[in-house]
Structure formats: C-alpha cells, structure tokens
C-alpha cells in the first residue's frame, strides 16, 4: 500500500518538472535499489522512460544501490547528503552515475508536505500544521545540540574524562612546533655531513 501511494506521488509530480522528465527518459530501463539495513527491506525504483515504478522487496536487477540505516538514508534528503556518502554512512554499489541521476530525480520529485496536506485539510490548516511541525523540528534540533554540548562540558570539566577543546588545540599546536623543531634540527645535522674518520 505504501509503495503504491509513493509511486503515485512520484509520478504525479513528474510532469511538473522538465528536468525530472528528462532524467526519467535518460534512465529508461535502469533500476535503483535502496536497502534499509536492520529492517531487511529493499525498495526497487525503475524507469520505463515515461513513468517510475516502485516495488518493495523488489528482487529485480538494480544498476545502482544504496545501503544504509533508516536514519542515514533519511539524511540523504538533508543538506549534507554528500557528507553522508563521503563518510560511508550510506554505501553506494553499482553505477555511480546512475545512482547520482536517481538521487537527483528523487530530489526533484520530493513532495511538498504542506501542499499534500492542503489537499486533505485545506490551505489554512495545512499551513498552521506545517509551521507547528517546523517549530517542533527546530526545537528538537536545539535540544539535541544543547544536550550534546552539556554532556561534553560535564565530561570535560566536571569529571575531567575529556580534554577541553582549548587545551587539546594548545597541545596539538605544541606537538606541531616540536615536530617542526626536530625537522629543522635534522636538516642542520644533515648539512654538517658525515663525521670524518680518524
């Protein structure tokens, strides 16, 4: 049921974007899989050139595939998608160009949640709900940031299990200076040449 609704939503948004239609045509006959680790779920998205098909537990051949935890796969929709892949939080197998094209296509077809809710609830209610959801997400983000900072400060200052950042920076600067001094000393010794034999 979810896959059918998601497929309808993607195809409904397809005519709205010329670039998405062009990508869909370029990807004709290609498949892209997403494997959700820990849940043993695999989605297969394929293009026939004009429409997209989405199948759950699709056993079909994929030209490219993303493997990752649910949270890391969701992070691909965020602002640091490239970082998620670079860090290896999401593994990419297969044709990298096909993976990039499908990723761009999914980004272009990403639904506007407020617009979708407006069809069900009306414009005013959807707008209020969207603003409330955005406020809750921002509150959650601030809560996590503040909590992480407080825990780090507790371990650094109260328990002394961690080194405060300023002390660590000073230590590493001293190590760099010592390494440069040793390198200069080694260069001077090298210029002196080998000791003369008696």
Convert the pLDDT of each residue in 75-100 to its tens digit: 777 777 777 778 888 888 888 888 88
Query: How many CB atoms within 10 Å of residue 109?
Result: 19
Q: Are 117 and 130 in contact (CB under 8 A)?
A: yes
Any domain includes 198:
no
Last residue of a domain, one of 70, 93, 111: 111
Alpha-carbon gap, residue 164 to 81, rounded angstroms:
30
Tell me the residue range of the domain where 177 lies: 163-189
Say whether both 26 and 93 belong to one domain: yes
Q: Choose the final residue of a domain: 75, 96, 111.
A: 111
- Model confidence over 102-120: pLDDT tens digits? 888 888 877 655 565 556 6
| pLDDT computed for residue 198 by the predictor | 56
pLDDT tens-digit profile of 1-59?
677 877 887 888 788 889 988 988 988 889 888 888 888 788 888 888 888 888 887 66
Mean pLDDT of the chain: 78
d(CA 6, CA 22): 20
């Amino acid at each position: 049921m979810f896959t059918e609704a998601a497929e309808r939503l993607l195809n409904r948004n397809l005519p709205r974007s010329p670039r998405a239609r062009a990508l869909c045509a370029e990807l004709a006959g290609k498949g892209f899989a997403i494997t959700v680790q820990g849940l043993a779920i695999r989605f297969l998205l394929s293009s026939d050139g004009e429409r997209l098909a989405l199948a759950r537990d699709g056993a079909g051949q994929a030209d490219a595939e993303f493997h990752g935890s649910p949270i890391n796969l969701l992070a691909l929709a965020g602002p640091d998608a490239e970082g998620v892949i670079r860090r290896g939080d999401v593994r990419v197998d297969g044709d990298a160009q096909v993976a990039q094209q499908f990723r761009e296509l999914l980004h272009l077809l990403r639904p506007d949640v407020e617009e979708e809710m407006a069809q069900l609830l009306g414009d005013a209610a959807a707008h209020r709900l969207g603003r409330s959801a955005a406020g809750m997400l921002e509150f959650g983000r601030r809560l996590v940031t503040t909590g992480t900072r407080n825990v780090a400060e507790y371990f650094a200052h109260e328990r002394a299990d961690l080194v405060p950042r300023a002390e660590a920076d000073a230590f590493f600067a001293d190590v760099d200076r010592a390494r440069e001094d040793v390198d200069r000393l080694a260069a001077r010794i090298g210029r002196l040449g080998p000791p003369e034999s008696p």
